[in-house]
Chains A and B, each alone.
Chain A
């Protein structure tokens, strides 16, 4: 009996009590349920669409859109296709996202440092500002910015800044350089400037490396490149009697300003809203990043005789950056995705144009899927870039 007992014990563990089998079984079951639910949704949707004679198709993409778009990065005409109109939307979204990310980062860093300032007033103003902005919904802020643009004077009574920038209730119009007919003659000089700058930089780096001493070559390289380009500008201008670039000064015609470039109220409101809202979160990330750097680092830097500014710039910030990048990526993604609120302030971003498209064509499912794919692509690209950057600045252990 004693010898027979162990094998009996072994065989009496039924498979539904065996955790190794159960673990696999539950996972299989879970996948089956998820796939089943998705399949159920899909078939229900297709049945409904078939009944309404609305089967999804992408044929509409090559039809003329025949609606106009208020502002676009590249030329657009109502006779262009829906596909092209959606592309305009993507570009408009990217335009506001890039501008937003850059501005939000700059303002966010200033905010984060201000929150840690030893100046009582600055520190508390920054705190109050952060607490107010991050606790008010973004949509509400966008409406506030849009309402603010409407309080500016009409174009006839624009606020003029030196006659170069005009503020009015249709946005901002400002003088902007335009290319003249001799711009082509200047292009070689631009390339020459770039090459000179790079060549100078490389030579200096090699020199530094040989002497085994640190040094800065970038500012001088820029100066050199700028000087070459400027000489070229004067040369082309004097030899042809016309400057390759000239300033286009806006002039008020019957209805709108002509010349220069303009920011529409929609773009201005959206950009302001996104930048202010996101910069507050970035500010908090910067603050936490700086605070996470060991106190000893600051004390050591001060003991070496570095000024507070140098301590921050050369010792604290490079270390804080490593902690800040991952949460910063989330904020950049949030900003990009939040730009879909543009529809509320009349800026023709991707979501706004997609809305019009699905409304005019009735192809709700394909359009929504395309919009999702577009946002996903933009977000993944941002994410990939930030991950690459994160890896690059990580501590390299020797």
Chain B
């Protein structure tokens, strides 16, 4: 009788321990990061980061130990952990993809690396968490990922009731429709009675229903949770059409059995501004992500690349000196080191370099810049001033 009770008590204790263990997953990693942070950042930038980090809270954390519930403490948590946890796609070549060696690459992935570079001066200090469209918001809501950069459309609902805070748009996209050339479909109106493959948990799922309702065309959706399965079902002929963001369609087309048998209709069904997002309620971390993205855009405007950044570091132009952190204390206010822009550019490059590396003319996608050019070139990319 007593022994049984003991077993029960031990069981209860184990449960509590397990619960506590889940609360502080960062704990075992803490000694190592202290070393990586300290030498990477000059003493005068690292110190203010630690003390100024949570200006929103009344009590600044003394030793950086109380990272748990303090709003605004996300940057401190990441610095203590020693790496950024970034939610990405793993099946969308060009944006987020894993190769056979387990290496992540893509446009979104590079922005994760840029953020890691800004925080640690080390673009590899990032742990990628592959997420499906369905899982991604829960992962942000529960704090499983620090930032979600996974071709995610910025919408009001997601910004509001889903509990995200969006950064600037990294890629302006629109929803398209891919069909077989031999089907003779030219417009959406031709698709009366068709079956259309779509991925669940996406804005495309909603836009599809809205668009077809608006033009009064009936269709049958075939919904999969997994993006690869959606494409596979379309490839096998289980659907007449396959809809997702146009950039995604271009990417998936390269994966189909006979890419030349398919075409993407001209029609654009929606606006799909894709950007990074973080959990609502941590304004400082959201600011940091904002300016990491903007830094890549501003760098392109200045013409600073990973190759010529050495020349700019000695520039006399005060705008550039401030931007690169040679003078002034721009980073401090957003919880980043002052030279965060220089760190990003030297390790990941400016927006143009990121774009060309993943989606540009030398890749299989060869996507024209279009709306994703600088405002000076007729595009929509525009960074507020760094001052």
Contact = CB atoms under 8 A, between A and B. Distances in A.
Contacts of B183: 255
A266 B71 CA distance: 45
Q: Size range of the interface on A?
A: 35 or more
Interface in B223-255: 223-226, 229, 232-233, 236-238, 240
Contacts of A69: 221, 223
A51 B281 CA distance: 6
B115 to A, nearest CB: 20
B387 to A, nearest CB: 31
Contact of B200 (A29, A51, A355): A355
Contacts of A352: 200, 223, 225
Interface stretch (A112-120, A130-138, A220-228, A356-364): A356-364
Nearest to A44: B23
A376 B223 CA distance: 26
Interface in A6-42: 19, 22-23, 26, 29-30, 33-34, 37, 40-41
A48 B221 CA distance: 36
Contacts, number: 148
Contacts of A360: 157, 162, 201, 206
Nearest to B138: A364
Contacts of B161: 54, 60, 361-363
A95 B280 CA distance: 40
B111 interface: no
B222 interface: yes
A87 interface: no
A355 B141 contact: no
Contacts of A253: 193
A151 to B, nearest CB: 8
Given A51-B281, A362-B137, A256 B19 contact: no
B297 interface: no
Contact of B134 (A154, A265, A359): A359
A256 B162 CA distance: 37
Interface in A237-261: 253-256, 258
B221 A150 contact: no
Interface string B123-147: 0000000000110011001110000
Contacts of B236: 150-151, 169
A206 B208 CA distance: 63
Contact of A52 (B194, B226, B238, B279): B279
A66 B191 CA distance: 19
A200 interface: no
B240 A34 contact: no
A359 B137 contact: yes
B157 A170 contact: no
B193 A359 contact: no
A48 B143 contact: yes
Contact of A154 (B12, B15, B237): B237
Given A51-B71, A52-B163, A359 B12 contact: no
A68 B208 contact: yes
Given A51-B69, A54-B141, A70-B223, A150 B134 contact: no
A292 B84 CA distance: 60
Contacts of B205: 67-68, 356
A78 B219 CA distance: 12
B2 A19 contact: yes
A83 interface: no
A360 B206 CA distance: 9
A346 B141 contact: no
B223 A362 contact: no
Given A40-B19, A47-B69, A362-B157, 14 more contacts: A23-B1, A29-B9, A51-B71, A52-B280, A52-B281, A54-B161, A54-B280, A155-B237, A170-B195, A255-B192, A255-B193, A256-B195, A360-B206, A362-B158
18 contacts: A22-B2, A26-B5, A29-B9, A37-B16, A40-B19, A41-B19, A47-B69, A51-B281, A70-B220, A70-B223, A169-B236, A254-B192, A255-B191, A348-B223, A355-B134, A355-B201, A356-B205, A362-B163
User: What are the 7 A-B residue pairs with the smallest beta carbon separation, nearest first?
Assistant: A362-B162, A150-B236, A359-B201, A78-B209, A255-B194, A54-B163, A52-B163
